[in-house]
Amino acid sequence: MVTFLQQLVNGLTVGAIYALIALGYTMVYGVLGLINFAHGEVFMVGTYVGIYAALALGYEAMRPEAFGPHQALVVMLAAMAGAAMLGLTIERLAYRPVRGAPRLTALITAIGVSLLLQNLGMLVFGADPESFPRIVVERVYDVGGVVVTNVKLLIVAIAIVLVVALELLVHRTWTGKAMRALSFNMGAARLMGIAVDRVIAQTFAIGSALAAAGGILFGLDQSKCDPQMGVLVGLKAFVAAVVGGIGNIRGAALGGLLIGVAEQMTAGYLSADYRDAITFVLLIGVLLLRPAGLLGTVRQEKV
Amino acid sequence: MSRWLRRGAIALLVVALCWGLDRLFEAFLVEYAVRIVIFCGLNAILAVGLNLINGTTGQFSIGHAGFMAVGAYGGAYTVVQLETWLGPSLTALPTFAQQAVALTSGVLVGATVAAIAGFLVGVPSLRLRGDYLAIVTLGFGEIIRLLFNNSETFGGATGYSGGRPLGLTTYTSFFWVALWAVIVVTVVAHLTRSSYGRALRAIREDEIAAEAVGLPTTRLKVMAFVVSAAAAGIAGALFAHLQSAVRPDDFKLDRSVDMIVMIIVGGLGSVTGAVLGGIFVAVTLELFRQWAEYRLVAYALLLVVLMIVRPQGLLGTRELDLAAVGRWWRARRTGGAS
C-alpha cells in the first residue's frame, strides 16, 4: 500500500508537469489544427533559460539556501518570457508561411523546427546533461512511510494555479473568447473583426510560457536536463493532450495526470524499461476505442 | 512467348549490370567509398518503400525505422539459425553461393516478418487520419525498438550478434543491395502505375471522394502500408549483414527522420525522386560526417525551407525519365535550328 501511495505521489507530480506542457499542444491544436512538434523543444529551451537566469542572479551550487524565493520566482518568469519569445518567433518564421498549406506540409514543417531547435540546442548548450540549480531548498516529510517533499507539493500547487488561470483566461476574457472563436471557425472569426494573426500569436506565447513553467518544475523534480529532453517529455505531453481530448483544456490536465500516474505505476510494479512504452500503449488504446479522447467531443466530418 | 523472352533477357542484363558494377567498385574504390555506394542502395530501397505510403497514398508514417528493425532482427536471426543448421555444408560452398543461400533467405524472412508487423500495425492505425496516424506510427516504432531493447533473445541494448564472439557474418555486398534495390523499385513503380496506384493517389487527393466512388480505402491503405513495411524489412535484413551485430540504437527516431528527408528532397510521390533522395542522404551523411552535429541542423533547416518554398519536394510527383529528357533535348535542338 505504501508503495502504491508513493508511486501515486510521484505520478501526480510528473503528471502535473505533463499537464502544463500538454496545455500548449492542446491550445495550438485547437486554434490551428496543427501538432506543434516543436513544443517539446520550447519546453527544453525554457528550462535552459531558467538555468542561465538562476546563474545570472548569483545562484551558487555550494550555497543553494542563499537563493531566496523571490529570486526563484524571477527565474520562473524569465524562463516563461524567454519561451514566449521563442514561441512567437517560431510561429512568425515557420508556421505562418505554411498556414494555408495542406496539413501534411505544416506537420513536416513542425517536425523540421523541432529537429532544428534540438540540434541547435546541442550546439549552444552542449550535448552533456546539466544539473538544474536547486533554487528551492528541498524539505522531506514522511507521511506514514510515504515520502513527500515541499518541491513536489509546490509543483502540484503551481500547476493547479496555472491551469485554473488558463481556464479563466479562455472562458472569461476577450482574448479567450477570440481563441475559442478561431478554433470554431477561423474564416467567420476573421469576418467578425478578430485580428486572427494576433490571436494566434497570443496562443503560441501563452502555450510556450506554460511549457517553460513546466520546464522549471521538471528541472526541480528531476534535477537534470539535456538538449534532447524535450523529445520524450514533449511526446508524452502530446499524448496526454490526445488522451484527454485534444483542444480541451480540462482534458489536457486530466490526460497529463493519467499519463504520469500510469508511467510511475508501470515503473514501480512492472519494469522501469517499459515506463516509456506504456504512454504509447495508452495512446493507441484511447485512439482506437475513443478517437476524440476522454473528454473530447466527436465532430461529424463534412464532405 | 517473346514477351517472356524479353523480360528474361532484361532480368539477366540487370543481374549482369549489378555484378559488373560490383566488380568495378571492388576494384577501383576504397572500402570506405564502397560502403557509401552500398548505403545509397539501401536508402533507395527505404525511400521508395516509404514513398509508396507517405507520398503516393498520402498517409504519413514516421515510424518506419521500426519495420526496418523487425526486418533486420528477423533476417539476422534466420541466417544465424540457418548457419547452425547447415554448419560445414554451408561454409564448404564458394563465397558467392554462401551469400546467395544465406542472404536471400534472410532477406525473404526479413521482408515477410516486416510485412506481418506492418499488417498488425496498419490495420488498427490506418483507421485514423493525418496527424494522428503520424503520431501512432511514431509510437509503434518506439515500442518495437523498446521491445528489442529489452529482449534477452535478441541481446538487449548491446544488440544481436547470434551469441557468437565474432558476431554476424557480413554477407551483404553491393551486388545484393543493387539487385534488391532493382526488385523493390520495379515492384513499386509497377504498383504505382497500375490501377492500384491510381486508387492510392485518389485516396491521397480526397479520401472521402475515393470512398464515395467505391474504392475499398482501408484495404488499399493497408496494402500500401504492408508493401512499404516489407521494403523497409528488406533494407533492414541487408543492413544487418553489413555489420557484426544488429543494435536497437540503429533504429531510433533519427532513422525515420532520415527516411522522411529522403522522400521530401526527392519529391513526395515520385519513385525516381525517392531514389535520388536516398542517394542524397547517403552521400551528405558521409561528406559531413565530421560535422555531424551541423548535418542535422542543416537537414532540419532544409526541411523547413523546402516546406515553405516547395512543399511537394524537389521533383514533386514527376518522374525523372531519360526518354523525356531526350525528347526535350531534341525539341530544343530542332527549335534552335528553325
pLDDT digits (tens, 9 = 90+) for A72-87: 999 999 999 999 999 9
Percent of chain A predicted with pLDDT > 70? 98
Long-range pairs for B262-266: beta carbons < 8 A, 24 or more residues apart: B262/B43, B262/B46, B262/B47, B262/B50, B263/B47, B263/B50, B263/B51, B263/B54, B263/B55, B263/B313, B264/A108, B264/B303, B264/B306, B264/B307, B264/B313, B265/B302, B265/B306, B265/B313, B265/B314, B266/B47, B266/B51, B266/B313, B266/B314, B266/B315
Please give the pLDDT value at position B338: 42
Please give the pLDDT value at position B335: 59
Q: CB distance A280–B143 less than 8 Å?
A: yes
B294 touches chain A (CB under 8 A): yes
Give the distance, in angstroms, between the CA of residue A78 and the centroid of all CA atoms in the same chain.
Answer: 17
Q: A146-149 and A224-225 as β-strands: parallel, antiparallel, unpaired?
A: unpaired
In sequence order, which residues have a C-beta less than 8 Å from that of residue B144 and are 6 or more positions away? B63, B66, B67, B69, B70, B117, B251
Cα first-last separation, chain B: 45
Question: Is the separation of the CB atoms in B179 and B185 below 8 Å?
Answer: no
For the segment A81-97, the average pLDDT, to the nearest whole number, is 95
Residue A174, amino acid: W
Question: Is the separation of the CB atoms in A237 and A40 below 8 Å?
Answer: yes
In sequence order, which residues have a C-beta less than 8 Å from that of residue B305 and are 6 or more positions away? none
For the segment A107-126, the average pLDDT, to the nearest whole number, is 90
For the segment B209-233, the average pLDDT, to the nearest whole number, is 93
Q: CB distance B62–A284 less than 8 Å?
A: no
Q: CB distance A107–B299 less than 8 Å?
A: no
Residues of B in contact with A98 (CB under 8 A): 307-308, 311
Per-residue b or e along A190-218, where b marks 16 or more CB atoms closer than 10 Å to that residue's CB: eeeebebeebbbbbbbbbbbbbbbbbbbb
Question: 508493401: which residue's cell?
Answer: B227
B157 touches chain A (CB under 8 A): no
- Rg of chain A on CA atoms, in Å: 19
pLDDT-derived band at B252, boundaries 50, 70, 90: confident
3 state DSSP class of B295? helix
- Rg of chain B on CA atoms, in Å: 21
Top-confidence range, A24-33, A256-265, B269-278, B325-334: A256-265
- Whole-number Å distance between alpha carbons of A33 and A22: 15
Residue A103, amino acid: R
Cα first-last separation, chain A: 53
Report the phi/psi class of residue A297: left, alpha or beta, with left for phi > 0 and alpha for psi in -120 to 50: beta
Lookup: cell for B200: 492510392
For the segment B10-37, the average pLDDT, to the nearest whole number, is 87
Kind and range of the H or E run holding A212: helix A196-222
- Which class for B290: exposed (0-12), middle (13-18), buried (19 or more C-beta within 10 A)? exposed
Between the alpha carbon of residue B322 and those of residues A95, A254, B192, B329, the distances in Å are 37, 57, 18, 10
Looking at residue B236, the DSSP 8-state letter turns out to be H
What is the 3 state secondary structure string of B95-139? HHHHHHHHHHHHHHHHHHHHHHHHHHHHHHHCCCCHHHHHHHHHH
- Whole-number Å distance between alpha carbons of B8 and A303: 49
Instruction: Give B74 or B333, the one with higher predicted confidence.
Output: B74
Question: 467505391: which residue's cell?
Answer: B214
What is the number of other CB atoms lying within 10 angstroms of the CB of residue A172?
10
Please give the pLDDT value at position B290: 77
3 state DSSP class of A140? strand
B31 touches chain A (CB under 8 A): no
Please give the pLDDT value at position A298: 63
Domains contained in chain B, number: 1
Helix residue ranges, H only, A57-149? 69-90, 103-125
pLDDT-derived band at A301, boundaries 50, 70, 90: low
B57 touches chain A (CB under 8 A): no
Which of A289, A218, A296, A214 shows the shortest CA–CA distance to A250?
Answer: A296
pLDDT-derived band at A253, boundaries 50, 70, 90: very high
Question: Is the separation of the CB atoms in A31 and A179 below 8 Å?
Answer: yes
Instruction: Give B103 or B323, the one with higher predicted confidence.
Output: B103
Q: Report the chain B residue with the minimal C-alpha distance to residue A278.
A: B143
Q: CB distance A301–B208 less than 8 Å?
A: yes
Testing the interface with B: which of A287, A290, A298, A299 to mutate, by most B Cβ within 10 A? Answer: A287
Q: What is the mean pLDDT of chain B?
A: 86
The predicted model scores a pTM of 0.83
Residues of A in contact with B256 (CB under 8 A): none
> pLDDT tens digits for A162-196?
999 999 999 999 999 999 999 888 999 999 999 99
- Whole-number Å distance between alpha carbons of A129 and A51: 12
- Complex ipTM, two decimals? 0.81
Q: Write the CATH number for B151.
A: 1.10.3470
Testing the interface with B: which of A36, A91, A93, A116 to mutate, by most B Cβ within 10 A? Answer: A116
For the segment B326-333, the average pLDDT, to the nearest whole number, is 76
Please give the pLDDT value at position B178: 92
B307 touches chain A (CB under 8 A): yes
For the segment B192-206, the average pLDDT, to the nearest whole number, is 92
Q: What is the mean pLDDT of chain A?
A: 89
Percent of chain A predicted with pLDDT > 90? 55
Expressed as residue numbers, the domain containing B75 is 2-337
Please give the pLDDT value at position B1: 62
- Whole-number Å distance between alpha carbons of A133 and A74: 14
Question: Is the separation of the CB atoms in A99 and A106 below 8 Å?
Answer: yes
Sign of CA pseudo-dihedral B166, B64, B257, B48: positive
Looking at residue B93, the DSSP 8-state letter turns out to be S
The DSSP-derived string for B170-212 is: ----HHHHHHHHHHHHHHHHHHHHSHHHHHHHHHHH-HHHHHH
Helix B95-125 and helix B130-149, axial crossing angle in degrees, nearest 10: 130
- Whole-number Å distance between alpha carbons of B202 and B196: 10
pLDDT beyond 60 at A302: no
Residue of B135, B293, B307 with shortest CB distance to A112: B307
Give the distance, in angstroms, between the CA of residue B287 and the centroid of all CA atoms in the same chain.
Answer: 21
pLDDT beyond 70 at B336: no
- Whole-number Å distance between alpha carbons of A207 and A46: 12
Testing the interface with A: which of B60, B62, B121, B131 to mutate, by most A Cβ within 10 A? Answer: B131
- The domains of chain A, with CATH numbers, are 2-289 (1.10.3470)
Residue of A94, A101, A231 with shortest CB distance to B304: A94
